[in-house]
């Protein structure tokens, strides 16, 4: 089986990478990955050729104290708070529920991981469920620990929603009033699609707003550079302005039948008064309806809050492996007991929905 691993995207050509990838695999395309490579020089990128299969992943350093949010094991929490380790994440950790691989033929995951680990220093290998489930029955990968992570939140768009008003009419009175009140509070906010020049102009502010959000997250991987956004023509970025002061931004990918809402940023000093996050969710839903998409994919944060708008969770898992005996012994029980925090699922739609 032919396996070739590269750390630098410049070590192969666009044609060599893309020649087997069909048009429906945008997120593994050369140009898309190149934007991440150019704007995240501090992490180690890996590009894998395996016959007609293509895989992307990267290595980053994590302070395991972040995992304390998901553990009830006091001894485990104490241990984790002192440790920093290298993780190889076998996909794009900035877009955790999108395929950063293209599979055209059978492959042996254990052999690919073995080859990758010969090229890098990684204490742990982390594989998302949507890649792990493609594996063949390789005995060498049976030692992976299955860990539940925060759910992906999504909203299905029925054909009866022709505009945002029809979406609101599908909601129970309580939730419709809540949205109307948030729209009133944000009436002075001007939302506009940012041009390339504006994205450059507001670059530092956009990064600051994005960092505000990630700093509140229970677990974060490598620091995302918003320079990636201005390098991606496929991404729409909206600014939320009060008298020309940028208070928030949201971004959207349109891909096949779905709208993906990923990178957002908020000035929390203004968030409550102007219902900034509610407005972002409303604008995202409206854009999906008007673009005649079937789904909105919201990502993995603020799950309970998003469920007020009709988003529902999809259980998600990662599979974690280490071949370091000490880590196996210490972390085995800790990882098996990691669980996302429980939250209350809201059901905002009328019974007919």
Where residue 213 sits, what CATH number does that domain have? 3.40.630.30
Same domain, 127 and 230: no
Q: In terms of domains, do 134 and 7 share one?
A: yes
- Domain encompassing residue 233: 153-313
Number of domains in the chain: 2
The count of residues in the chain is 353
Helices of type H across 85-244: 109-117, 129-132, 164-169, 173-185, 196-201, 203-214, 227-230
> Is 346 a member of any domain?
no
Characterize the bridge pairing of strands 312-321 and 53-63: unpaired
33 within a domain of the structure (yes/no) = yes
85 and 9 co-located in one domain? yes
**Residue range 140-192, pLDDT digits in tens:** 566 788 888 889 999 999 999 999 999 999 999 999 999 999 999 999 999 99
User: In terms of domains, do 88 and 168 share one?
Assistant: no
Assess whether 91 and 172 both reside in one domain.
Answer: no
Could you tell me if residue 139 is inside a domain?
Answer: yes
The more confidently predicted of residues 289 and 85 is 289
Nearest alpha-carbon partner for 318 in 155, 162, 129, 134:
129
The Cα 253–Cα 259 span in angstroms is: 6
Same domain, 182 and 246: yes
pLDDT digits (tens, 9 = 90+) for 301-316: 889 999 999 999 999 9
Phi-psi region of 209 (alpha: psi -120 to 50; beta: other; left: phi over 0): alpha
Q: What is the pTM of this model?
A: 0.88
Residues 10 and 29 in one domain: yes
| 205: in domain | yes
CATH of residue 115: 3.40.630
Given this model, what pLDDT does residue 228 score? 81
Statement to judge: residues 223 and 75 lie in one domain: no
**How confident is residue 105, by pLDDT bands cut at 50, 70 and 90?**
confident
Q: Does residue 190 sit in the same domain as residue 130? A: no
183 alpha carbon, distance to own chain's centre: 27
Return the higher-pLDDT residue of 140 and 340. 340
């Amino acid at each position: 089986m032919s396996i070739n691993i590269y750390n630098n995207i410049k070590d192969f050509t666009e044609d060599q990478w893309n020649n087997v990838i069909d048009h429906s695999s945008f997120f593994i395309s050369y140009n898309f990955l190149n934007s991440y490579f150019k704007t995240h020089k501090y992490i180690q990128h890996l590009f894998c050729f395996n016959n007609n299969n293509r895989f992307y992943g990267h290595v980053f350093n994590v302070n395991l104290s972040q995992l304390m949010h998901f553990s009830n094991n006091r001894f485990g929490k104490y241990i984790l708070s002192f440790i920093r380790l290298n993780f190889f994440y076998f996909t794009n950790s900035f877009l955790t529920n999108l395929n950063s691989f293209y599979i055209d033929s059978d492959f042996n995951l254990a052999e690919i991981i073995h080859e990758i680990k010969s090229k890098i220093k990684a204490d742990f290998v982390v594989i998302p469920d949507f890649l792990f489930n493609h594996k063949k029955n390789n005995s060498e990968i049976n030692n992976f620990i299955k860990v539940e992570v925060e759910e992906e939140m999504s909203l299905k768009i029925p054909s009866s929603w022709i505009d945002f008003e029809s979406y609101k009419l599908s909601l129970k009175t309580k939730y419709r009033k809540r949205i109307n009140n948030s729209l009133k509070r944000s009436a002075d906010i001007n939302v506009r699609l940012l041009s390339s020049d504006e994205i450059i102009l507001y670059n530092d502010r956009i990064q600051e707003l994005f960092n505000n959000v990630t700093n509140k997250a229970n677990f974060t991987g490598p620091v995302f550079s918003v320079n990636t956004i201005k390098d991606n023509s496929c991404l729409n970025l909206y600014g939320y302005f009060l008298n020309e002061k940028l208070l928030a931004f949201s971004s959207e990918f349109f891909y096949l039948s779905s709208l993906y809402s990923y990178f957002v940023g908020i000035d929390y000093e203004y968030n409550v008064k102007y219902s900034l996050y509610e407005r972002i969710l409303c604008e995202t839903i409206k854009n999906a309806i008007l673009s005649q998409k079937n789904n909105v994919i919201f990502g993995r944060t603020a799950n309970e809050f998003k469920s007020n708008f009709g988003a529902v969770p999809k259980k998600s898992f990662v599979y974690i492996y280490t071949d370091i005996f000490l880590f196996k012994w210490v972390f085995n029980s800790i990882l098996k007991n990691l669980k996302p925090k429980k939250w209350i699922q809201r059901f905002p739609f009328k019974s007919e929905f």
